[in-house]
Structure 1
Amino acid sequence: MATTKSTVAGRSAIDWAGLGWMFLFFWYFSGVTQALIWASGVAGFSGFRQAFLASALWLVPLLLFPGRAKLLAGAIGAVLWLCSLAGFGYFLVYGQEFSQSVIFIMFESNVNEASEYLGHYFSWSVVLAAAVYGLGGWLLWRKVRPVYLPRRAALVASLLLFTCSVGYPVARQLLKHGEFQTALEDFEKRIEAASPWQLVVGYHQYRRQLGNMEDLLASREQIPPLKNLADAHAGQPSTLVLVIGESTNRQRLSLYGYSRPTTPNLDKLRGELQVFDNVVTPRPYTIEALQQVLTFADQEHPNLYLTTPSLVSVMKQAGYKTYWITNQQTITKRNTMLTTFSKQADEQFYLNNNRDQNARQYDGSVLDPFARVLADDAPRKFVVVHLLGAHMRYKYRYPDEFERFTDRSGVPASVTDDQLPTYNSYDNAVLYNDYVVSSLIERFRATDPNGFLLYLADHGEAVFDAPDPEVLGRNEAAPTGPMYTVPFILWNSPKWQAQQARDFTASLHRPYSSSHFIHTWADLAGLRFDAFDSSKSLVSAEFRERPLLIGNPGQPKSLIDFSLVKPKKPADQGSELVQQERKAKGQPL
């Protein structure tokens, strides 16, 4: 049998071509999918890079046992191919990257639901693509050949490969965090783009977050219902819709006076809308903000979300069938609380199962599930639609046809040339958000409903806005106005408004914190209960103005009134998302 040993000037030469074919064979089962993801613009370069590094690990057994290289490559390759089919096929069908969220959906679906999905998305073209994909792996396997190195050189090379692919990343995370569990979680993020870790890590993360969620759900089941709940609309058919936006600073909406036409559709609906212009969020982060927005917790009582009913529970108690439609990531470490809220609903629609939040996932995907929910024959419906909104990175939030702002027209002179692309992409994201929110209103209105739709954002976002033109992102330690100012818009159906006969004029300019939102919602929905406080309802005649507390309630002395927020000096511009954006120039939030 021929070997790949060769001699140059009496010394053994390394078969670099043989090494190259080995690596290409193993990389193929991770790299092809990641290359497609990168080329399509769904996500950035990081997954491709991670797959490249992780694939080097599989060269080790072939270098240590070169006589069995072909057999080992075939066995390892077969496993990698089988594991990679999930990610490859999922991308072809959904245009998303496979993640633990997909595993969550798989295990949450019953056999009938799984059959329906397979029947709906089955395509012979996908089968053909998978066959071609397998053929490519087989052709590369035929190129694999033994590479013989001196024993010591093989050991050194194997150690270097192991160090580069596994050892160094683990050691780096341990030095960075000093705590094994955190280091392991970060290491997992750096290998899960590659096969078979996409399945292994995804399942491990799914089990861990599922355990956290089940603990939260079990604790919520012990929470008693509201006392003396009364519904002014009891027995009447009604549909109430809550649309939660993301990272949307109202100062960048033309509906609120911004010079650029970023909300042309909502502007046309202006006469039908109640536009509240003085609402702020208590926290500039999604989870922390919604823990208060969707429960009875607030800045002075931040832990009440653990012991009091959520808004979903309140609406179920009032006799509504509840739905949760989300384009946010599903079951990740950060989003487990959101998934816990969603699992309290009767039906869920999880639309964003990308591994990386920083992926091209459009909010227009919520429109079809929303239409299906509206067509449901349940007489009383409560619907939550959670958007990805203007979440960083902004260029992933809108399709190409919404890239309307590309020059300096309407841009403040303080925005530099380097800042301009980011500034424009945020406005384009807001423009697309306008399309989605207005489409939800239009579809809702077309059903001639008895009810209302309310839209608010979880928090704002600073994107080089005056008077702090150097600040990008959100940073609770260095707050600026755009991080906290959020849109708050109400659309009432004619039927509902006729029943209410309510004048909102006095409410539109009231200073209000969305931490008390559950009282406003209850007031709008006609609900009363012992815990209801009319003075915390934005639309109540008994409304009482309070300090708009922002900051970390875990450090009560750090809480300040939003009205005291002052423009930051350039030296104070630190922001965690600024760092993310700078990182993102080399890789994708």
Structure 2
Amino acid sequence: MKQGLAKNIISLVKLAGIVGIPLLLLVCIGFFKIPDTLDYIKEVLGFGFFTVFFFCMVVLFTKTKHKQISAFTSVILLSVLVFIKLSFYHNYQVKLSASALFVIFETDTTESADFLSNYFDGFVITSAFLFIIIVPVVAFYLLKKVDVPGHFKWFKGIAILSIITSLFIIHKRFEPENIILTSVKSYSDYSRLIKDLKTDLAKTLSNYVTVEKKDDTPETHVVIIGESTSNWHMQLYGYNRPTNPRLSEIKDELMIFDSVIAPHVHTIVSLDKILTFSDINSPNKKNNTSIVQLANAAGFDTYWISNQRPVGMHERISSIIANAATEKHFVSTDNSDDIIYDEALLPVLDTVLKKPTKKKMIFLHLIGTHGRFANRFPEQFNYFKDHKVDAKFKHDKAFTLINDYDNAIRYNDSIIREVIERIRHEQTNSFVVYFSDHGDELFDTLDMVGHNEYWATRPMYEVPFIAWFSEDYKAKNNTVLFENYTSRAYILEDFIYSFSDLANIRFKQMDSTKSIFSSQFIRKPRLIKNREDYDKR
């Protein structure tokens, strides 16, 4: 009797050891990869209770074969979770968060792969091999060797109590460390956000804002929404390479605002604030309104011309906002890792400009300098090829990616200039305003490429904000004053007010203190992330 009990206990211990392999690796590798001691302790304890939960679930199975299968499945799942945790800490020094998951939910599979590809290095690849191949193989081998009795009747009550206790402790104390729960909650929040946006923002007119109608004087305005373009790599902003040759030719005609930042460094959350009334105090705002709806209400015919694929796992936020436009043109249906050039938008723009409507508000959504930079410019724009790059981090990968990025910006420069020249040719009351949803880090301050809010470097936030005005617009508006405003510290979550000022759209909720073009402008703290003041970093 005692020998049988002892044998069963030994079997339990061995089974626990096998299921606990991922936890052991988290303890060992996490010691070096999780920078904050408190975070390390929380991750280990939280994952420890998670492992106890899975182990007890395994024990509840009565048949030996079912125990082995469930134990093997548990090891695979736990290994994948540890791999994700450690990879995230390796790249970002923080735990996986909801905002990072939002990025993945918003993109299609190839774009997600494109986003993640920037962060695969030797450690991540080795870890993937360890956790996804070696650990499951070792667990399979050990489970075959361990004699796992089918019944642990005396342990069943303890197992059930342990499951309940583990779940309670995880929920109360270690919820942020629970990747599965974080993912489920984030997906639920994202789905709710998309539903709310469709309810409010996809309609032609907003129910929450009454706009004063304008006269029928001919007007043609263009808002160019860039993608992933940092002003750190723009000649117009003092960059030491000629990345803006064509805009530099008309520099005297441009208002170049030099202290503008994006509200976020990821498209989904950034555009939600830039294009609507949402801000850091009211993220994912209820009863919302977009700049497209404002233009519709003011009597403009609105046109959304996009070079970004309209759908990912869900309909994109930008495409939901675009749905309110009089006409929608999604030029590209390719994945973001394909070769996509923004010149494809120009023929559509030409067609729209020929329409007989007097009042046009045109939104151009560029692919810009997104993702795989080498796929964002044609060969004739392959201008930067050498390693004469004044980069903080000097190695072949940096030189190659910086050259590609700078070539993409040089091409982007030509697209914006082409748009301006087309609007100039209209000879109407017109403006063109250009900004980017966020920037990118290109080895400027850190030895990395891309954008994430965990590093939150200045090149990720500091974006171009440029305006051009026709002679007719200048005659009707005192644009000379704008020259005094170009150094205003501004965050693009308030763009809807600046847009309304430029377009002379008047409505009750208008707040001129938030318009960069207004004499009533009041500088406010530019809050990012967890209400961190950008100007005090």
TM-score scaled to structure 1, two decimals?
Answer: 0.58
Q: Do the aligned partners of 1:329 and 1:335 also contact (CA within 8 Å) in 2?
A: no
Identity %: 33
1: CA distance between counterparts of 2:392 and 2:199?
A: 54
Residue 308 of structure 2 aligns to a residue in which SS?
strand
Aligned residue number for residue 339 of structure 1: 319
The partner residue of 1:278 within 259, 279, 284 is 259
Aligned match of 1:548: 526
Could you say if the C-alpha distance between residues 352 and 542 of structure 1 is closer, same or farther in structure 2, counting changes exceeding 3 Å?
A: same
Q: Is this contact kept in 2: 1:225–1:317, CA < 8 A?
A: no
Report the 3-state secondary structure (helix = DSSP H, G, I; strand = E; otherwise coil) of the residue aligned with 2:338: coil
1:185-238 CA-to-partner distances (Å, cap 9, x unmatched) read 99x959xxxxxxxxxxxxxxxxxx99997774344449854545235x522111
Q: Which amino acid aligns with 1:345?
A: A
1:229 aligned to which of 194, 208, 211:
211
Alignment partner, residue 441 of structure 2:
462
- Given that 1:287 and 1:335 are in contact with CA atoms closer than 8 Å, whether structure 2 keeps it comes out as no
**Contact 2:237–2:258 (Cα < 8 Å) also in 1:** yes
Please give the alpha-carbon distance, in whole angstroms, between the structure 2 residues aligned to 1:445 and 1:278: 27
Map of 1:97-112 to 2, 5 A cutoff? none
1:460 partner SS: coil
- Per the TM alignment, residue 530 of structure 1 is displaced from its structure 2 partner at its CA by 1.1
Q: Which amino acid aligns with 1:235?
A: D
CA separation of 1:214/1:479 partners in 2, compared to 1, >3 Å: closer, same or farther?
Answer: closer
1:418 matches 2:400: no
Choose from 527, 532, 535 the match for 1:560.
532
1:265 is matched with 246
CA-atom RMSD in angstroms = 3.2
Q: Which residue of 2 aligns with 1:41?
A: none
Three-state SS of the structure 2 residue aligned to 1:418 is: helix
Deviation per residue, 1:238-278 (Å, 9 max, x gap): 11110000000001110111110000000001111111110
Distance, in Å, in 1 between the alignment partners of 2:366 and 2:78 is 35
- Cα separation, 2, equivalents of 1:450 and 1:380: 10
Q: Corresponding residue for 1:518? A: 496
> For the residues of structure 2 that align with 1:368 and 1:214, how far apart are their CA atoms?
33
Offset, 1:506: 1.6
Match of 1:452 in 2: 431
Counterpart-to-counterpart distance in 2, 1:534 and 1:384? 22
Note if 1:532 corresponds to 2:513. Answer: no
Query: What letter corresponds to residue 373 of structure 2 in structure 1?
Result: Y
Q: Residues of 2 paired with 1:252 and 1:277: CA distance?
A: 13
Name which of 470, 484, 489 aligns with 2:461: 484
Listed as ranges, the gaps of 5+ residues in structure 1 are 1-167, 191-208, 552-557, 566-589
1:303 equivalent in structure 2: 284
Closer/same/farther in 2, CA of residues 365 and 224 from structure 1, 3 Å limit: closer
Cα distance, 1:397 vs structure 2: 0.7
How big is each residue's C-alpha offset from its partner over 1:308-334, in whole Å with a ceiling of 9 and x where there is no partner?
211111110001111100011111126
Offset from partner CA, 1:85-119 (integer Å, 9 cap, x none): xxxxxxxxxxxxxxxxxxxxxxxxxxxxxxxxxxx
Number of aligned positions between the proteins: 367
Name the aligned partner's letter for residue 489 of structure 1. I
Instruction: Measure the CA separation in 2 of the matches of 1:461 and 1:434.
Output: 17
> Post-superposition, which runs of at least 4 consecutive aligned residues in structure 1 deviate over 3 A?
171-178, 209-216, 218-228
Letter in 2 for 1:536: K
Secondary structure (helix, strand or coil) at the match of 2:419 reads: helix
Kindly indicate whether residue 473 of structure 2 is the aligned counterpart of residue 496 of structure 1. Answer: yes
SS, match of residue 543 in structure 1: coil
Matched, 1:322 2:294: no
Following the alignment from structure 1 to structure 2, what is the Cα–Cα distance between the partners of residues 327 and 385? 8
Question: 1:392 corresponds to which residue?
Answer: 371
Give CA-to-partner distance per residue, 1:339-369, whole Å, 9 cap, x none: 1111111111111111x31111111111100
Work out the CA distance in 2 between the residues paired with 1:528 and 1:365. 34
Q: Which amino acid aligns with 2:234?
A: L
Q: TM-score, normalised by structure 2?
A: 0.63
1:564 alignment partner AA: K
Measure, in 1, the Cα distance between the counterparts of 2:204 and 2:404: 45
Aligned pair in 2 of structure 1 residues 302, 317: CA closer, same or farther (>3 Å)? same
Show the counterpart of 1:475. 452
Residue 263 of structure 2 aligns to a residue whose secondary structure is coil
Distance 2:420 2:381 in 1: 19
Partner SS state of residue 331, structure 2: strand
CA distance in 2, matches of 1:189, 1:250: 29
Provide the rounded CA distance (Å) in 1 between the counterparts of 2:303 and 2:80: 41
Distance apart, 1:463 and its partner CA: 0.4
Deviation at 1:472, TM superposition (A): 1.5
- Given candidates 341, 344, 349, the residue that maps to 1:362 is 341
Structure 2 alignment gaps of length 5 or more = 1-71, 83-100, 111-189
